[in-house]
């Protein structure tokens, strides 16, 4: 069967499973809608957390980033996995014992202020919408390539799927759907990795295959280093980032992971405090399966790509290359008119590639060739995981399986983010501030309406993405680190921290981070252009600036809190209570 037929079958089966779970797990109360009734087992919650965390960025983009940046890409592995260690030790058990539904709910009650709650809601919306836009766009891209539909149509299909299990089941439906999605995405990621590892090195364990020998007795990594140096790139196993920037990026990703509201809310769904700690540990182990495999996938994909296209004649390239040209994720222009692809160090295009139906004299799909550099090939990083099975000539069913896995990864995270957006509006704004006497039934209706509106907005971001969305998605972690992480950690461990300190810290932290992102990463079309690396503050990249903004948040929060009145005694008693190591006791609602 063709790839398209296999894709329709696998996507149809997995989507039917998601719909069935959503109908079975329909929420009947706000507690079921917000935290799945608080009765999810640690194993199920660990699997759901892993699926919630491993978004399209993890499944599709992370291996692509490592493929092109090599050693420097290790910061993502260290930061994103290390964040779960912080989460398990510093946040999960204490937040579960506090017994609230959401991060803004914790901040609002801990800092005895609706203003603090409102600031937290705004921060949650900024982080969540930033993140979810990329997920919806990823869904559109996967559908576009594998189901041969327009990207817009793919986004709309994804909106409908997410809406069904988020609208009906809320957190209850999303949790058990994410358990299924974890199984799908991890299977889809590991199967091609195992096949390619055997194909290239004879070792069925990708993590070992990456360091193994190929047919001629050369180590695979040595071959890749040699290929890189021959083409003018730096060695794959060498790094170029400064030690400080590596540290800053890693810490920003760790703190951002611990501060992402759609991840934190998962620890409100388990029955007991000890279950929150267990589920965090299980999630880390389940995530590690993919995260330890990603570097191997990166090495396999990078090696196969170079071997397949570099110095090869366009007319002799396999079908996968020409198919992916239609998506605009890979393209080339024959600058020296020799009919061969010159893939060397340097930019193939100036600015954004120009993809048209125009063909060159040797049949190539044209890209902007205004650059004076000799590189002729443009490759989008997102192509590496999705096209990897095709490059390695694996069976069609494996190629289709990767498409189903990519959709599972994107949809699972999108659902979690949309629920955060929904609960921030229905619970933290309407229930806690605008209409405190709202009934449980009315609040459930408001939550479902909020989900519907959030899905529409997220879909529009996916169909009509602002120019800066793709760049900002990776920086959502910096936003979470700069805003939520200090407020939560200080709220747990500093009894003297008051509302004035927390509010000031959050506002300053997220404001500085947003400014830095705009000026050094994204720009504002028609207003300002991004500044060059030479202008970076403290020699810190935008991806690592979340660390600076987080430190600034902490310092300002501590100083302001010491210059303003101490929090009420009942608040300090709450802080003392959640820090008592009572083990497996039930959470206490305040």
Cβ-contact 482, 513 below 8 angstroms: yes
Q: Could you give phi then psi for residue 161, rounded to 5 degrees?
A: -65, -50
* 85 domain-assigned: yes
Residue 585: pLDDT band (50, 70, 90) is: very low
* 126 domain-assigned: yes
Read off the CATH number of the domain in which 564 is found: 1.20.1730.10
Q: According to the 3-state scheme, what is the secondary structure of 119-187?
A: HHHHHHHHHHHHHHHHHHHHHHHHHHHHCCCCHHHHHHHHHHHHHHHHHHHHHHHHHHHHHHHHHHHHH
Q: According to the 3-state scheme, what is the secondary structure of 330-369?
A: EEECCCCCCCECCCCCCCCCCCCCCCCCCECCCCCECCCC
For residue 486, what are the domain limits? 3-304+391-578
d(CA 485, CA 505): 11
* 320 domain-assigned: no
* 500 domain-assigned: yes
Farthest-apart Cα atoms in the chain, separation: 79
Cβ-contact 485, 259 below 8 angstroms: yes
The pTM for the full model equals: 0.83
Q: Which residues contact 267 (CB under 8 A, 6 or more apart)?
A: 45, 91, 92, 93, 95, 96, 276, 279, 280
* 180 domain-assigned: yes
Q: Could you give phi then psi for residue 586, rounded to 5 degrees?
A: -65, 150
* 309 domain-assigned: no
Q: Please state the domain count of the chain.
A: 1
* 188 domain-assigned: yes
Q: Could you give phi then psi for residue 493, rounded to 5 degrees?
A: -110, -5
DSSP for residue 213: B
Cβ-contact 252, 94 below 8 angstroms: no
pLDDT digits (tens, 9 = 90+) for 25-57: 776 666 667 666 667 888 888 898 888 777 777
Residue 359: pLDDT band (50, 70, 90) is: low
pLDDT digits (tens, 9 = 90+) for 421-430: 888 888 788 8
Residue 378: strand pairing partners: 331
Comparing C-alpha atoms, which of 71, 9, 53 is closest to residue 263? 53
How is residue 37 written in tokens? 């009734």
* 71 domain-assigned: yes
Q: Indicate the pairing of strand 330-332 with strand 377-379.
A: antiparallel
How is residue 36 written in tokens? 């799945």
Cβ-contact 20, 434 below 8 angstroms: no
pLDDT digits (tens, 9 = 90+) for 433-469: 888 888 878 888 888 888 888 888 878 877 776 554 4
């Amino acid at each position: 069967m063709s790839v398209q037929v296999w894709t329709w079958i696998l996507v149809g089966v997995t989507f039917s499973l998601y719909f069935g779970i959503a109908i079975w797990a329909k929420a009947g109360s706000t507690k079921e809608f917000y935290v799945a009734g608080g009765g999810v087992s640690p194993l199920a919650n660990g699997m759901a957390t892993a699926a919630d965390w491993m978004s399209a960025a993890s499944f599709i983009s992370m291996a692509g980033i490592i493929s092109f940046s090599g050693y420097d890409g290790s910061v993502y592995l260290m930061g994103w996995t290390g964040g779960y260690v912080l989460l398990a030790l510093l946040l999960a058990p204490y937040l579960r014992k506090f017994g609230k539904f959401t991060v803004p709910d914790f901040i609002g009650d801990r800092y005895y202020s609706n203003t603090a709650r409102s600031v937290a809601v705004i921060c949650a919306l900024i982080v969540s919408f930033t993140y979810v836009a990329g997920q919806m766009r990823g869904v559109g891209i996967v559908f576009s390539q594998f189901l041969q539909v327009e990207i817009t149509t793919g986004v709309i299909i994804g909106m409908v799927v997410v809406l069904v299990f988020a609208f009906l089941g809320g957190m209850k439906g999303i949790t058990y759907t994410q358990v299924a999605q974890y199984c799908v995405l991890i299977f889809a990621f590991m199967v091609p990795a195992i096949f390619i590892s055997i194909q290239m090195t004879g070792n069925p364990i990708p993590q070992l295959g990456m360091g193994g020998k190929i047919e001629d007795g050369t180590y695979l990594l040595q071959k890749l280093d040699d290929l890189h140096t021959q083409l003018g790139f730096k060695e794959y196993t060498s790094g170029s980032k400064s030690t400080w920037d590596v540290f800053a990026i890693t810490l920003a990703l760790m703190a951002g992971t611990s501060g992402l509201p759609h991840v934190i809310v998962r620890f409100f769904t388990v029955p007991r405090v000890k279950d929150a700690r267990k589920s965090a540990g299980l999630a880390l182990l389940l995530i590690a399966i993919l995260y330890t495999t990603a570097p191997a996938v990166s090495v396999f994909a990078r090696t196969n790509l170079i071997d397949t296209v570099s110095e090869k004649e366009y007319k002799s390239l396999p079908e996968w290359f020409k198919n992916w040209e239609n998506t605009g994720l890979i393209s080339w222009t024959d600058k020296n008119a020799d009919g061969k692809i010159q893939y060397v160090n340097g930019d193939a295009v100036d600015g954004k590639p120009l993809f048209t139906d125009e063909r060159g004299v040797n049949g190539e799909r044209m890209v902007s060739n205004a650059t004076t550099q000799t590189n002729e090939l443009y490759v989008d990083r997102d192509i590496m995981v999705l096209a990897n099975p095709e490059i390695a000539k694996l069976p069609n069913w494996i190629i289709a399986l990767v498409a189903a896995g990519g959709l599972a990864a994107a949809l699972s995270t999108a659902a979690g983010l949309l629920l955060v957006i929904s609960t921030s509006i229905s619970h933290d704004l309407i229930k806690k501030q605008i209409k405190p006497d709202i009934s449980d039934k009315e609040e459930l209706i408001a939550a479902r309406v909020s989900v519907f509106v959030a899905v529409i907005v997220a879909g529009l971001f996916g169909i009509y993405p602002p120019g800066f969305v793709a760049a900002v998605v990776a920086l959502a972690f910096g936003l979470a680190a700069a805003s939520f992480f200090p407020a939560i950690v200080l709220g747990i461990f500093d009894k003297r921290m008051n509302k004035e300190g927390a509010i000031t810290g959050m506002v300053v932290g997220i404001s500085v981070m947003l400014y830095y992102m705009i000026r050094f990463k994204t720009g504002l079309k028609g207003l300002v252009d991004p500044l060059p690396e030479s202008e970076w503050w403290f020699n810190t990249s935008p991806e690592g600036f979340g660390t600076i903004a987080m430190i600034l948040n902490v310092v300002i929060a501590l100083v302001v809190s010491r210059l303003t009145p101490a929090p009420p005694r009942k608040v300090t008693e709450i802080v003392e209570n959640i820090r008592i190591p009572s083990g497996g006791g039930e959470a206490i609602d305040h």
